Amino acid sequence: MTPPDLDRTNALFLDLDGTLIEIAATPDEVVVPASLPALLSALHALLGGAVAIVTGRSLAMTDSLLKPFAAAAAGEHGVSLRLDDGTREDVQVDAAMPPRWRKSLAAAAERWPGLLVEAKPHGVAIHYRLVPDREEDVWRLVRALVPDDHPTFRLIPARKAVEIGPRTTSKGRAVERLMAHAPFRGRRPIFVGDDFTDEAGMEAATRFGGQGLRVAEVFGGQPAAVRAWLQRGVDILGGRVAPIGASVAVSP
């Protein structure tokens, strides 16, 4: 599948890890290309502000990674939402994660060196990328903590990780909430993501007449290819190159 050329009717919803930046051994070890913040800022200007980062990371961490770029965003899979004008619309979480869950996960990290427990404002992510042989153990542990019918929290699969997060949020709901506001309202959304958590965002984009682009299928699994596509979008929107299939005037 060839990714579509961007035009000024689009709105962009972009996952971060595995989509805009390469996955690293640990969340703290990711490398943000020096050109990425300026690229996002250029897209933001050319699309009238209709660019949002939709990620499992907290908004504070997302802003830290992408500074000085800061615009509309959804953090922790939609728990925290920021509109393009800076207004926050965070979801009200009914209950805090039980302290005993955090203690149980911390104890597991001590038993299984290499397991990383990443605390978040409204949940926690458990990364087993460095100890892939512990995958079954990790899933057995988190399923014991969070049953399928838990009223407040759910398990969110990720790449070599699993997250415990609020049941009431998803990246799809984040897209829906952003699409209700300017500058996203009335545009054709494109959601780009790389894992299970992004599927809801892609489905929401489709419901609004847009589409979802999977990094593995459309970009060969390479965030560098996603960034190259976004750069082409900047060049097209800025009038520096013609879209594919566009007619070219020929002087007589």
Cα–Cα distance between 1 and 218 in angstroms, integer? 5
**81: alpha, beta or left, given left = phi > 0 and alpha = psi -120 to 50?**
beta
Cα–Cα distance between 186 and 233 in angstroms, integer? 20
Cα–Cα distance between 16 and 185 in angstroms, integer? 22
| Residue whose structure tokens are 């988190």 | 142
- In single-letter form, the type of residue at position 80 comes to S
Q: Is 70 helix (H, G, I), strand (E, B) or coil?
A: coil
Whole-Å CA distances, 186 to 6, 33, 123, 190, 209: 16, 32, 33, 13, 10
Residue 105 makes CB contacts below 8 A (sequence gap 6+) with 117, 124, 126, 141, 145
**Residue 69's CB: how many other CB atoms inside 10 A?**
20
Respond yes or no: is residue 198 known to be catalytic: no
From 15, 194, 195, 198, the catalytic residue:
15
Whole-Å CA distances, 158 to 84, 92, 147, 155, 210: 27, 24, 18, 10, 24
Residues designated catalytic? 15
